[in-house]
């Protein structure tokens, strides 16, 4: 089995982002960037499948600026075999990402594509499902467990009321939830080795995909600020305030 893992470079999850004063977006200058946490989990899962003899090759792919290459190197250092970098400085929406990835899938013919369930910057939670639709493949989103059972993949999904298990044939799409696994740290020797692994560079034009955004961003603003609250001295005072001041008890 061959596994394709799309990875995205995003603002590090610990960074408190600031909205630009001109409301054109979020200030990303000199902000720490990392691999999207859900993508890390996807890479880890693919590598574990390889270690367990379920997969022969893991290919990491990223779409974005030159710096996205660092994100691919991180995936290679974790254990992916090679990388594909689709270079563009434009903002690419999930629909366009899914179309480019479909092009990559057509060229690479993987049996499985594992993506993160959402990117922590745009919070769309759409790319994996869109790719599945474009390919006409089955999908298992928000996965917290993946098992091979004969010809079928059994995937446990995190749903609102608890857990749900679906079975699907390959080729298929999986998107990862946080509890699927604990991603490994890349060791220094593996980081050095990753520098020698190949990364193919391509452009969105190679896949004949129009990446023009469908959603025009009119403005980006701060969310309404909560006013500072008060500290209470005792539980009795707390209950009194909740009942008589806030009126919620």
Partner 1 sequence: MTVLVIADHDNAELGESTRAAVTAAKKIGGDVHVLVAGKDAGAVAEAAAKVDGVAKVFHADAEPLEKQLAEAMETLVLGLADDYDAILAPATTTGKNFMPRIAAKLDVMQISDIASVEDAETFIRPIYAGNAMMTVKSSDKKKVITVRPTTFEKAGDQDSAASVETIDAPEAAAASRFVSEELSESDRPELASAKIVISGGRGMGNGENFQILERVADKLNAAVGASRAAVDAGFVPNDYQVGQTGKVVAPELYIAVGISGAIQHLAGMKDSKVIVAINKDEEAPIFEVADYGLVADLFDAVPAFEEEIGKIGY
Least separation in angstroms between CB 173 and partner 1: 10
Please, what's the b/e burial string for 57-85 (b: 16 or more CB within 10 A of its CB; e: otherwise)? ebbbbbbbeeebbebbbbbbbbbbbbbbb
Closer to partner 1 by Cβ: residue 161 or 198: 161
Distance CA 145, CA 152 (A): 14
Q: Which of 7, 177, 202, 207 binds partner 1 (CB under 8 A)?
A: 177
Least separation in angstroms between CB 23 and partner 1: 9
Closer to partner 1 by Cβ: residue 114 or 132: 132
The rounded Cα 23 to chain-centroid distance in angstroms is 26
Least separation in angstroms between CB 197 and partner 1: 30
Helix (H) or strand (E) holding 78: helix 68-78
Q: Which of 34, 74, 88, 127 binds partner 1 (CB under 8 A)?
A: 127
Distance CA 126, CA 117 (A): 8
Q: Which of residues 141-170 bind partner 1 (CB under 8 A)?
A: 141-142, 144, 154, 157-169
Least separation in angstroms between CB 12 and partner 1: 11
Q: Which of 98, 143, 186, 211 binds partner 1 (CB under 8 A)?
A: 98
Supply 211's token pair.
């990446």
Supply 158's token pair.
């995190």
């Amino acid at each position: 089995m061959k596994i394709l893992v799309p990875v995205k470079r995003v603002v590090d999850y610990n960074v408190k982002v600031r909205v630009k004063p001109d409301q054109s977006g979020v200030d990303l200058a000199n902000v720490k960037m990392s691999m999207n946490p859900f993508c890390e989990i996807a890479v880890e899962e693919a590598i574990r499948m390889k270690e367990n003899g379920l997969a022969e090759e893991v290919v990491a792919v990223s779409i974005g600026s030159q710096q996205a290459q660092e994100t691919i190197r991180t995936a290679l250092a974790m254990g992916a075999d090679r990388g594909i970098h689709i270079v563009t400085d434009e903002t690419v929406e999930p629909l366009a990402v899914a179309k480019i990835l479909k092009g990559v899938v057509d060229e690479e013919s993987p049996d499985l594509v594992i993506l993160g369930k959402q990117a922590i910057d745009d919070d769309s939670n759409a790319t994996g499902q869109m790719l599945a639709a474009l390919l006409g493949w089955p999908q298992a989103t928000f996965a917290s467990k993946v098992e091979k059972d004969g010809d079928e993949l059994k995937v446990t999904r995190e749903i609102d009321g608890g857990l749900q298990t679906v079975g699907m044939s390959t080729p298929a799409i999986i998107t990862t939830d946080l509890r699927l696994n604990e991603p490994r740290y890349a060791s220094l020797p593996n980081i050095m080795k990753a520098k020698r692994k190949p990364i193919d560079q391509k452009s969105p034009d190679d896949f004949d995909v129009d990446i023009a955004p469908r959603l025009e961003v009119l403005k980006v603003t701060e969310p309404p600020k909560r006013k500072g609250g008060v500290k209470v001295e005792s539980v009795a005072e707390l209950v009194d305030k909740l009942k008589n001041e806030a009126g919620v008890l």
